[in-house]
Amino acid sequence: MKDLSGYIFVRLRFVRLLVYSFFCSAWVKLLLNLRGIKAGKKLRFYGIPVAIRMVDSKIEIGNGCSFRSDFTSNLVGVNRKCIITTLRRKAEIKIGNNSGFSGTVIAAAGSIKIGDRVLCGANTTITDYDWHGIEPDKRNISAEPKPVVIEDNVWLGLNTVVLKGVTIGKNSVIGANSVVVKDIPENVIAAGNPCRVIKQFQLSKPGK
């Protein structure tokens, strides 16, 4: 083998992350249960996320999801922990199966629904809430949320921000550093601030 040192380093990193994830996952699953958060099977946690559930609200996480809150676990650069929080009574966050999150913030005052196999790149933010009123005389008054829906198989690129009232259709890709303020249809690539469609996927027909 020409690059023995490189091979050894990569294998040691893999083993370290495997062991690290095992202990983090066991601890986080206990914390989620204690906080009344419904957690599915085969979840993987790299580092300890922040999970806060408001009284009379719901957070549900499907099977096979992964959460990377440690900066060494995603080499593109995770700048913060994953944060999952409901902000008001009756708020809900529902995450489907086999989705992945790296330093992702998910904050719901109303409703955020994330489908299956959704990939959230490093330092993405998803919120259904403006946090403060828009008008100058209403900055200290809570704004009203609008539901966010991210359908199956969506990929949010690095540093993407998804704001209130947005639906992103299945299979679509959102480019890095985008700010999504309007609905994005399914099967497209979209990017920018504000985010807009730049390309339609040419999907192959069944059997081809």
What domains lie within the chain, and their CATH numbers? 4-200 (2.160.10.10)
68-89 pLDDT, tens digit each: 999 888 878 899 999 999 999 9
Looking from the CA of 69 toward its CB, the CA atoms found within 13 Å total: 19
Q: Is the pTM value of this prediction over 0.85? A: yes
Decide if 132 is catalytic.
yes
Strands (DSSP E) found in 81-143: 83-86, 92-95, 100-102, 105-108, 111-114, 119-120, 125-127
The answer to whether the beta carbons of residues 174 and 160 sit under 8 Å apart is yes
- Residue 13: pLDDT band (50, 70, 90) is confident
156-173 pLDDT, tens digit each: 999 999 999 999 999 999
Q: Which residue is catalytic, options 13, 35, 42, 132?
A: 132
Which of 131, 125, 28, 48 is CA-nearest to residue 88?
A: 131
